[in-house]
Amino acid sequence: MRRALLAAACGAAVSTAARRVARFRPPELVPDPPELEGLDAEAAAGRLAELVRIPTISSREPADIDEAAFARFRERLTGLYPQTHRVLEREVLGNGALLYRWAGGTDAPPMVLMAHYDVVPVAGQNWSRDPFSGSIEDGVVHGRGAIDDKGALVAILEAVESLVAAGFTPARDVYLSFGNDEEVAGVGAPLAVGALTGRGARPWAVLDEGGAVVSGVFPGVSRPAAVVGLAEKGLLDIELITTDPGGHASAPVRGGAPARLARAILRIDEHPFPARLHDVVLGMVDALGRYAPAGYRAVFAHAGYLRPVLAAVLSRASREANALVRTTVAITRLEGSPAANVLATRASAHANIRIALGETVESTVERLRRVIDDPGVELRVVSGNDPSPVSRADNEAFALLSAAVRSVYPDAAVAPYVMVQASDARHFSQVCDSVYRFMPFDLTREELATLHAADERISVAALHRGAGFYRYLIRHL
């Protein structure tokens, strides 16, 4: 009798699992046609190239900023997009953040489209051409900022310019928030949030840079994946500091400041933060796993029951996948003695930490103290913020964004994900529950690898599709 009951139970479990896998299929959706009317791909590429040639390089040191370049960029926008500047209200916030308002036909809560026009430095990088040449070769725009983030800024303005020229009025107000200091975690975005809050405008949705349309990033899924960030990891900068009396290098002591610092760094490296599958990452598995072959689908269909196993698998799949499932620590700077023959009286290391959803600055620092296990190593928090709230994926805003993606990338599977970098969008989370992080460009692995690195570039075709994405988004608000 007992054996019969066990057999029946096993049979029922297998039957339930089989039904779950059978239902674990992609949704049947018919994409709308793309909104490319009035968009000129070559002209847009030329305008992006011209803006790339203006070296709007960010710096935390005010003396190192070429303010004339930033002013020239803002002025050139008015010439490149005359219809936009004729109809939209524009104000300059702080030292150069731009906020445009396109009045809509109703008093419904506004949409905010974001980008930033400052770029990271190019010093020390091995570029194959002038990083600010803005050259267009073989259907590709080259130069610093082509993707991050002047490409998105141009795609937004191309869409707006074409719609304004056609006499279109959006159903709700549309704000364009273009930051001038995103790369240095500046004040442009907080000023924009303050400006909207001051006029009682609580956004319906916000869209900033983030994920993109990529291929070959998810096990077993060959089709393109449009990954939309619902949240971003927290950012924490910490200095690890050890001290000693010092002395002449001819008479060193064991366990000096550099040795103790090195021991602390090794302990951090040898004891990574635990890998966990957050609900957002589980949502990504659910959305993309439906497009996998049968064997993979059998696993992904039961992802909710296999969280620890999938977290472990993703942590070993790639650097990018590992960053999705755990808090990461990168040692980016080391300092010791200022002289070759003098013992260090102070040794320090800078740790750049990206905090996983579900953890905090406080819990992260506490765990580092336990792992280092040395009261002689001081942990000094330079700056830090907790992970952002998770935005909704069950509302009209996310549905519209998904439809806009499918209109220009009909083969793409839309999926939520966690943005592992920091963006200006996090500041809008305090006033909106629908803050998304997505660049509407299909990018190869090689192109993604150029972000903040040498030979940054974007194809003219991807830029054109990006403008079509924003045009669809605005027309269907």
**E-strand spans in 49-199?**
89-93, 97-102, 111-116, 136-137, 140-142, 174-179
47, 72, 152, 382 from 55: Cα distances, Å: 15, 10, 17, 29
Q: Which residue has the tokens 């996310």?
A: 398
Is 28 among the residues known to form the active site? no
* Burial of 2 per CB tally in 10 Å (0-12, 13-18, 19+): exposed
Taking the C-alpha atoms of residue 347 and residue 276, their distance in angstroms, rounded to an integer, is 33
Taking the C-alpha atoms of residue 217 and residue 226, their distance in angstroms, rounded to an integer, is 11
In degrees and rounded to multiples of 5, residue 247 shows phi and psi of 140, -170
Contacts 24+ apart (CB under 8 A), 299-304: 300/24, 301/17, 301/20, 301/21, 301/23, 301/24, 302/17, 302/20, 303/277
Kindly name the residue from 161, 173, 182, 424 that is annotated as catalytic. Answer: 182
Show Cβ contacts of residue 4 under 8 Å, excluding neighbours closer than 6 positions: none
At 237, which helix (H) or strand (E)?
Answer: strand 234-243
Taking the C-alpha atoms of residue 208 and residue 439, their distance in angstroms, rounded to an integer, is 7
Show Cβ contacts of residue 15 under 8 Å, excluding neighbours closer than 6 positions: none
Supply the DSSP string of 182-234, one letter for each residue: GGGT-SHHHHHHHHHHHTT---SEEEEEEEEEESS-STT--S-EEEEEEEE-E
Is 37 among the residues known to form the active site? no
CA 217 from chain center: how many Å? 16
At 417, which helix (H) or strand (E)?
Answer: strand 413-419
448 within 8 A of 212, measured Cβ to Cβ? yes
48, 120, 149, 191 from 181: Cα distances, Å: 19, 10, 12, 11
Closest CA to 439 of 155, 192, 203, 205: 155
Query: What is the Cβ-side half-sphere exposure of residue 100, based on CA atoms within 13 angstroms?
Result: 24
Taking the C-alpha atoms of residue 270 and residue 383, their distance in angstroms, rounded to an integer, is 24
Query: Letter for the amino acid at 7?
Result: A
Show Cβ contacts of residue 229 under 8 Å, excluding neighbours closer than 6 positions: 210, 211, 416, 417, 418, 419, 425, 436, 437, 438
Catalytic annotation, residues: 118, 182
